[in-house]
Structure 1
Amino acid sequence: MKQQAPPGPPSAVERRTIDVIPDAERHGSPRSQFTLWFGANMQITAIVDGALAVVFGADALWAIVALLIGNVLGGIVMALHSAQGPRLGLPQMISSRAQFGVLGAVVPLVLVVLMYLGFAATGSVLAGQALARILHVPATAGILLFGVLTVVVAVTGYRLIHTVGRIATVMGVLGLGYLLIALFTKYDVGSVVGVKGFEAPTFLLAVGLGAGWQLTFGPYVADYSRYLPRETSERSTFWATFAGSVIGSQWAMTLGALIAAVSGDAFVGDQVGFVGELAGPAAVALLVYLVIVVGKLTVNTLNAYGGFMCVLTTVTAFNGRSRVSPAARAWYIVGFTAVSIVVAVVASADFLANFKNFVLLLLMVFTPWSAINLTDYYLVSKERVDIPALYDPAGRYRRWNVTALVSYAFGVVIQIPFLAQALYTGPITDLLGGADISWIVGLVATAALYYPWARRTANPPAAMVYPSEATPPMRRLSS
């Protein structure tokens, strides 16, 4: 198949928002998904996520195994969302209108926006600290500067985001590879690995941290595969996304678990500072801080870009529009980033504990959404979507879909007895010795309720329906 040429250089400002990508503007290959998600995961927050398992009691060896299991399980769900992109040509959360209804999709959308804000804020804290060390300025100034960089890349859009992802991939391999070697050179890592026996609660906490990390990409992963040509293999998109995300995150989380095991309170008190000291000489530390900034810029841009898409999807559910001007698009991104920076500046000093609870809370609200979206797309609708109807509250998908909304609420509520949060521990969690399996319960129970109910109530089209302007005339498309 002859691929379309990319629409301009990486510096060209993206024009598309929540509308379907026409075939004439499709380009690239699944390989771009590998580099984007590998680069987005080879960064400081993933290191912190891996460290949490050890900080909260797991042995480093068991933590690494558990994180791998969690990354693989969550990565499967995340990559199944990514595989929808080429066929639909839509942002992820617009497509969820097919399950929840045009207005009903606003319910999970609001939670997704809060997620983006939370991750953007925590990322800004860590990247701001690194920039402050590079430029010898206060941390607040570093956070503000990082916010400006995020806005520039996110406003420019899709192609520059992928370019930054490729740069982050190379820098991440070099930087985190060097840190791993430095860790084994400076510390007796073997003496702190395998010193504790298997403990189910901490093991399952680490599985949840790995799975939660991957699952939180689900609401926006298709935003970055939607420009691929429509004929792109779903299998290729799946494996490229899965491999990039799982390998990148597991590498970073393994480093984090080992750092936490050898460092004790030193890493807990100053994550960025400890990594800089691990790097060694000032010149090398400076380069490692730069690796931190570029890695965080990749994923923070995804948060800002996805956040503005979700805000726009929410707004257009009520005004019926499918496009906005480039100026309005820029202001959405600036506004979202500004809010995340304010949150970052006033963030609590108890970063690690709050971040752990934040990730586990996100699992509670996003596993039911993923269960509904994937069950409907692959098993009920069988990859058939009426795309024009996604923008019409009076169309096929209506304003509200009771089946999805009730199933979603059920999926959230049923997890409560299984929670292990700082503010609440469920009664079943106590019986399990403190092990948090709420996300597994939410995923399975939601799908079990939604699937038979949706089989009776869903109204999918007989075949994919695209807007007339999305497909050039006289062009034959493969199914």
Structure 2
Amino acid sequence: HTRPRAIIAAVFFGASGSAVWLIALGAWLATRLNATDALVSLRDAGDAVFTGLGVVLALSSVAALVATMGINAYGAMLTTVTAIDAVKKVEPTRRLRVVTILALAVLWVVVSLSISAGAVDVLFAALIMMLYLLSPWTAVNLIDYFFVRHGRYAITELFVPGGLYGTWAWRGITAFLVGLAASVPFWVLPGLWTAPLGDVLQGIDIAWLVGLLVSGVVYYLLSRSLDVEAEEDEIRASERELEGDPAGAPSV
């Protein structure tokens, strides 16, 4: 069995490392070459090593971008279908996947054309909004894993509709919404909107931190009424099933 610490370390360094080197490269290009266009500057930097390398690097970046866009489209489709399936059961057929991706593509084109004048500001605001949404969600998961269930889960039960963990976890949803609401007065969306307390702080963005802390505390308090010990039988049955023991079986 892989230790949780090793998994957490691998995910952390893999996710952060893949972004840190690119941020460092962008900072170097901006300061050393006075870059304003990332792709053009990458080409110029490559050509400074030897002629033609810049074109290869630029084309490689385009290929990587296309692959990333494909992954993003497929991920958006999975998220959309999963959200629909949570309310109404759907069959994940190939046709459904293709139609969903095409519908999302049309939506993206419409949105892109409508914001072309201030695309950078809107994109930046969208990324910040993702941070605001992910912070309270992350807090709920971390508190549940480290302080409530201490890493003990019935894995097979996660795939059983209405099983041990139910369909909707009201404690987690409540904590998420409370944390998100608490962060709103601190929101800073450059070029679009700054909340009252964001103005007071002169644009310093601590909204994500407020959402993280409030959701974490609320979820911890709500989870004090959760009988974690009662889950042990299902956890042991799940572990036996994952190890191939026919005696272990998920609840229905």
TM-score normalised by length of structure 1: 0.44
Mapped to 1, the partners of 2:11 and 2:202 lie a distance apart of: 35
Q: Which residue of 2 aligns with 1:43?
A: none
- Residues 240, 247 of structure 2: 8 Å contact kept: no
Please tell me the root mean square deviation across aligned C-alpha atoms, in Å: 3.4
User: Which residue pairs with 1:409 in the alignment?
Assistant: 177
Distance 1:334 1:402 in 2: 34
**2:41 is matched with which residue: 274, 298, 310?**
274
Amino acid at match of 2:223: A
Q: Structure 1: how far apart are the matches of 2:79 and 2:227?
A: 24
Aligned length: 241
- Does residue 432 (structure 1) correspond to residue 201 (structure 2)? The answer is yes
Residue in 2 that maps onto 1:233: 3
Conserved? CA contact 1:415–1:438, under 8 Å? yes
* CA contact 1:320–1:392 (8 Å) conserved in 2: no
Identity across aligned pairs (percent)?
24
Question: 1:290 Cα deviation (Å)?
Answer: 2.4
The answer to whether the 8 Å contact 1:387/1:465 transfers is no
Structure 1 residue aligned with 2:223, among 447, 454, 476? 454
The aligned runs of 1:164-183 (5 Å cut-off) are none
CA distance 1:464–1:410, change in 2 (3 Å):
farther
Q: Of 83, 87, 100, which residue of structure 2 is paired with 1:318?
A: 87
Relative to structure 1, is the Cα distance of residues 358 and 470 closer, same or farther in structure 2, using a 3 angstrom cutoff? same
Post-superposition Cα deviations, 1:404-449, rounded to whole Å, max 9, x if no partner, equal: 2221111111112322223332333334332111111111111011
Distance 1:347 1:437, change over 3 A: same
2:21 maps to a residue whose letter is W
* 1:259 lines up with 2:26 in the alignment: no
Q: Indicate how the Cα distance of structure 1 residues 452 and 304 shifts in structure 2: closer, same or farther if over 3 A, else same.
A: same
> Contact 1:368–1:412 at 8 Å: present in 2 too?
yes
* 2:54 counterpart letter in structure 1: A
Question: Superposition pairs for residues 53-68 of structure 1, below 5 Å?
Answer: none
Inter-CA distance 284–436: structure 2 relative to 1 (3 Å threshold) = same
Q: CA shift at 1:249, angstroms? A: 1.0
- Report SS of the residue matched to 1:443: helix
Partner AA of 2:179 in structure 1:
G
Matches within 5 A, 1:194-233: 231-233=1-3
CA distance in 1, matches of 2:105, 2:241: 33
Say whether residues 1:372 and 2:147 are aligned partners. Answer: no
C-alpha contact (below 8 Å) 2:188/2:203 kept by paired residues:
yes
1:293 matched to 2:62: yes
Q: Name the CA distance, whole Å, in 2 between partners of 1:240 and 1:289.
A: 29
Structure 2: distance between partners of 1:380 and 1:362: 26
Normalising by structure 2, report the TM-score.
0.77
Quick check: 2:143–2:220 contact (8 Å CA) kept in 1? yes
Of structures 1 and 2, the one with the larger relative CO (CA 8 A, separation 6+) is 1
Q: Report the Cα distance in structure 2 between the residues aligned to 1:475 and 1:283, rounded to whole angstroms.
A: 64
- Which has the greater radius of gyration? 2
For residues 186-214 of structure 1, give each alpha carbon's deviation from its aligned partner in whole angstroms, at most 9, with x where no partner exists: xxxxxxxxxxxxxxxxxxxxxxxxxxxxx
1:420 equivalent to 2:183? Answer no
Deviation digits for residues 207-233 of structure 1 (CA, Å, limit 9, x no counterpart): xxxxxxxxxxxxxxxxxxxxxxxx333
CA, structure 1 residues 273+401, in 2 after alignment: closer, same or farther (shift >3 Å)?
A: same
Change over 3 Å in CA distance of 1:378–1:338 after alignment to 2: farther
Tell me the alpha carbon deviations over residues 35-71 of structure 1, each in whole angstroms, 9 at most, x when there is no partner. Answer: xxxxxxxxxxxxxxxxxxxxxxxxxxxxxxxxxxxxx
What stretches of structure 2 of length at least 5 have no aligned partner? none
Match in the other structure for 1:306: 75
The structure-2 alpha-carbon separation of the partners of 1:250 and 1:386, relative to structure 1 and needing over 3 Å to count, comes to closer
Alignment of 1:18-417 (within 5 A): 231-262=1-32, 267=36, 270-280=37-47, 283-320=52-89, 324-337=92-105, 339-340=107-108, 343-344=111-112, 347-382=115-150, 383-385=152-154, 387-388=156-157, 390-393=159-162, 395-417=163-185
The corresponding residue for 1:184 is none
- The one-letter code matched in structure 2 to 1:296 is L
2:241 and 2:115 map into 1 onto residues whose CA distance is: 46
User: Cα distance 1:464–1:368, how it changes in 2: closer, same or farther (>3 A)?
Assistant: farther
* Bigger share in helix: 2
1:101-141 CA deviation, whole Å, 9 max, x = no partner?
Answer: xxxxxxxxxxxxxxxxxxxxxxxxxxxxxxxxxxxxxxxxx
Contact 1:384 1:464 in 2 (8 A): no
8 Å contact from structure 1 (residues 407, 446) kept in 2 = yes
Contact 1:369–1:408 at 8 Å: present in 2 too? Answer: yes
Equivalent pair of 1:386/1:464 in contact (CA under 8 Å): no
Aligned to 1:116: none
Q: Secondary structure at the match of 1:461?
A: helix
Q: Distance in 2 between matches of 1:248 and 1:346?
A: 31
Determine if contact 1:418/1:438 at 8 Å carries over to the other structure.
Answer: yes
Q: Is the 8 A contact 2:135 2:208 kept in 1?
A: yes
Q: C-alpha distance in 2, partners of 1:467/1:241? A: 23
Look up the equivalent residue of 2:188 and give its one-letter code: A
Distance 1:467 1:475 in 2: 10
